[in-house]
Amino acid sequence: MNLVLKTFHYLRKNGIRDTGRKISNWYQVHFTAENDYKAFRRRNETGPQELRRQKARRFDNPVTFSIVVPLYRTPEKFLRELIGSVEKQTYPHWELCLADGSAAGAGGNAAAEPRQECAESPLRGILEEYVRKDSRIRVKYLEKNEGISGNTNAALRMASGDFVVLCDHDDILAPDALYECADAVEKDPDIDVLYTDEDKISYRGDRYLEPNFKPDFNPDLLCSTNYICHIFVFRRRLYEQCGGFRSAYDGAQDQDLILRYTEQAGRIHHIPKVLYHWRKSLDSTAADPEHKRYAFENGAKAVTAHYQRIGVPAKAEIGEVLGVYRTVYSWKEQPLVSVIVPNKDHAEDLKRCIESVEEKSVYRNFEWIIVENNSTEEKTFSYYEELKKKDNTRVVVWDGPFNFSAINNFGAGFARGTYLWLLNNDTEMIRPDSMKDMLDICMRNDVGIVGAKLYYPDDTIQHAGVIIGAGGIAGHMFTGLGRGLAGYGLRAICTQDLSAVTAACMMVKKEVFDRAEGLDEKFQVAFNDIDFCLRVRKQGYLVVYDACAEFYHFESKSRGLDNTGEKLERFQSEINRFAEKWRDLLMQGDPYYNPNLSIRQADFKLRVGEEKWELPVLRRG
């Protein structure tokens, strides 16, 4: 009945079309995706032979893991399953540190219960049974229930291992979880932090669902949502250096701690395997986010505190859905932005593009550089004459053949701004703060390029960032997803770091553009923006997809490839050139995607079998 009421309220607020899309997406997530994941688990679960091999391995430099768990009136079944999953680890060098605050109060959980004096823990008998069997299991019975943060800190103080593993009291570790972490550290002793993929386990423990296949470390995504969550592993010295959990952030204490530790960590390593099963308890944020709204309010506080520590003038606000945060910057400077728009005829498109920015944008310090490229229609030149009357607009003439890279490089040569905004003439600004939002991100010292979310006219996504290797060379994320839908792992609505974004709407620091020597003019039409982003990333800058900057892009949704004659040959040559230049990345896979996801398209579907990157070869139509 609750689901029916939610659907009714959503229908009243958003209309039939959006509600239909929402229902379709819900069905995809809860039925189709769950069945696909069952098959995926059968294909990829670590088998008995591999587990035996792991147990027999002797490490040259073994490290010890301290698994810390706060207990609070944990149901016996869940407690035994948790401890049992630790006992089944194929890597033997561990200790299990359990801090039990169960004797205080009755019911509830460690996060919500008042801090009360303890009497006798109802879990003592079960815990003592395990302590007697295995000296690696240690328990501290707390005199007071200090809440989720305080209880976890008590478990942390018990830890003596090289690394600490955070675990909730009703969750389960995969049997090879510690082995995979130890193997990673053996290969790279400089690792300070590790995290893995995860999934959910049903309350009764009979279904595995909602796998979270994560990207490699992605600081902007972490500020948008706690995508790391479980399993989080860190060197114990980070705890000694940065302190433990802070009760002011209860409910989002993990995100606060992860932000603080990753700020100080050297090497951060992602293991792309599901090694943690997060139980969908009836009162957890995994099952019902609305049940713990305070947790998301504390999450916004944690992200804001992170910005304060790193010296960025920004704060976080709860975004369009619970679990997503939007960053609002407060820079004092308002630098000039040079908007570069290549144009050949299509005067109506150009006018709509310019007027949407002029009429809507809340940011006002910008200039237009319209790069005329071999137009023939009289109405185009008439519109240029109108534009020339504006103080902030110049029309410059490129008289060479069409070359997208060369045209934008030419336009950049006239820019007076410290930021360049490459913008297609067939775009239209939707949100008035889109330019400001992109600029705010681009003004950070660690950012070189910022891209936006683009929609087709029917309000489905055309671009939400680019995945390298998808579809052969590169593919747009979430193409065709309805507006307002969150997408896999909330990533369609989360600002995040990516390998590339489209130059149809791209902001870049002028100094970064110049240092990279602009777009590569050998890529006349295709892949010039992708190549440019990758070169900027090699300079050490982030490329950020800004989910809050929204535009229409009137590129035809049904337009196919022009696969005839000279254009086909040129496109194939650009494919070959890109593949030769970036072959290692194409073979290794995009670090902001996940090797468990299919690269046939950038749609976050599970791999159904072995997929190897192959050079696309076009066929004449």
pLDDT at 1: 40
Kindly state the average pLDDT of the residues 271-277.
97
Helix (H, G, I), strand (E, B) or coil at 156: helix
Domain with CATH 3.90.550.10 in the chain: 50-290, 337-588
Q: Is residue 536's pLDDT more than 50? A: yes
pLDDT band at 113 (very low <50, low <70, confident <90, very high): very low
What string of DSSP letters covers 211-254? EE---S--HHHHHHS----SSEEEEHHHHHHH-S--GGGTTSHH
Give mean pLDDT, residues 399-422: 97
3-state secondary structure of 397: strand
d(CA 318, CA 203): 28
Q: Are 410 and 328 in contact (CB under 8 A)?
A: no
Would you identify the CATH topology of the domain 50-290?
Answer: Spore Coat Polysaccharide Biosynthesis Protein SpsA; Chain A (3.90.550)
pLDDT at 14: 63
Tell me how far apart the alpha carbons of residues 594 and 11 are, in angstroms, rounded to a whole number: 34
Q: What is the pLDDT of residue 288?
A: 54
Average the pLDDT over 285-293 and give the result: 60
pLDDT at residue 273 greater than cutoff 90: yes
The listed CATH number (3.90.550.10, 3.30.360.10, 3.40.50.720, 3.40.640.10) that belongs to domain 337-588? 3.90.550.10
Q: Give the C-alpha distances (Å, rounded to integers) separating 597 from 32, 149, 306, 607.
A: 16, 35, 31, 5
The dihedrals phi and psi of 411, each to the nearest 5 degrees, come to -60, -40
Buried b (16+ CB within 10 A) or exposed e, 476-497: bbbbebbbebbbbbbbbbbbbb
- CB atoms < 10 A from the CB of 433, how many? 17
Place of tokens 């010039």: 528
pLDDT of residue 30: 46
Mean residue pLDDT of the chain comes to 90
pLDDT exceeds cutoff 60 at 105: no
Q: In 3D, which of 546, 504, 513, 541 has the Cα closest to residue 329?
A: 546
Residue pLDDT, tens place only, 357-374: 999 999 999 999 999 999
How far, in Å, CA of 473 to CA of 527, rounded?
Answer: 9
DSSP state of 29: I
Q: Say what percent of the chain tops pLDDT 90.
A: 79
Orientation of helix 565-581 relative to helix 528-538, angle to 10°: 10
> Does residue 212 carry a pLDDT above 60?
yes
pLDDT digits (tens, 9 = 90+) for 523-534: 999 999 999 999
